[in-house]
Amino acid sequence: MTVQQISIFVENKSGTLLRVLELFKEARIQLIASTISDTVEYGIYRIICTEPVRALETLRQAGISADVSEVFAIELDNIPGRAADAVRMLSEAGIGISYLYSFLLAGKGILIFRTDNPDRTEGVIAERGLRALNDDSLRSLA
């Protein structure tokens, strides 16, 4: 079970990020979470939002290089240490995490991540009883 994440190619120059956010504003699509790190020339801006399909369409029409991908979303109880527990489960199964970001939503901790082995990750989630979210269940929290 996964959620849709929008990835946007952004050049490191002023106004690029604003242009993307203005497009979301005009289209009235809300961000649930987003992350970008500093890079020399370009970065990947990753967004979880309320309407990923329409967001992608909007971005592409504006000539922005963007794609949609499936990432894992795990819901955790808002108790210290839960994130460590979840990541340990993945680590013990020999799964590598490509990137991860987290936030609190409606009193729940949410981990968003991509791994190098999606099949095994699905297996770990099922066997170890992690609560995975899909687009609908994530949206219902937001």
Partner 1 sequence: MYLHPEFEKLTRSEIEALQLERLKRTVRQCMNTEFYRKRFAENHITPDDIRSLSDLSRIPFTTKQDLRDSYPFKMSAVPLSRVVRLHSSSGTTGTPTVILHTQKDLDEWANAVARCLYMVGLRPGDIFQNSSGYGMFTGGLGFQYGAERLGMLTVPAAAGNTKRQIKFITDFGTTALHAIPSYAGRLYEVMEEMGIDPRRDTHLHTLIIGAEPHSEEQRRRIEQMLGVKAYNSFGMSEMCGPGVAFECTEQNGLHIWEDYYIVEIVDPVTLEPVPEGEVGELVLTTINREAMPLLRYRTRDLTRILPGACPCGRCHLRLDRMKGRSDDMIILKGVNIFPIQIETVLMQFAELGNDYLITLTNEEANDLMTVEVELNAFSDDYRRLQSLTKEIARQLKDEILVTPVVRLVSKGSLPKQEGKAVRVRDLRKTLI
> Min. distance of Cβ 99 from partner 1 in angstroms?
9
Site string for partner 1, 22-51 (x = CB under 8 A): -------------------xx-x-x-----
The residues in 63-82 that bind partner 1, with binding defined as CB under 8 A, are 63-67, 69
* Both structure tokens of 44: 């990947």
Angle between helices 52-61 and 16-27 (to 10 degrees): 120
Question: In the complex with partner 1, which residue's Cβ is closer, 1 or 64?
Answer: 64
CA atoms within 13 A on the CB side of 70: 11
Residues 6+ apart with CB under 8 A from 62: 19, 23
93 binds partner 1 (CB under 8 A): no
* Both structure tokens of 65: 């290089």
- Which residue is it, tokens 């729940």? 108
Give the interface with partner 1 as residue ranges (CB under 8 A).
5, 7, 9-11, 16, 41-42, 44, 46, 61, 63-67, 69, 114
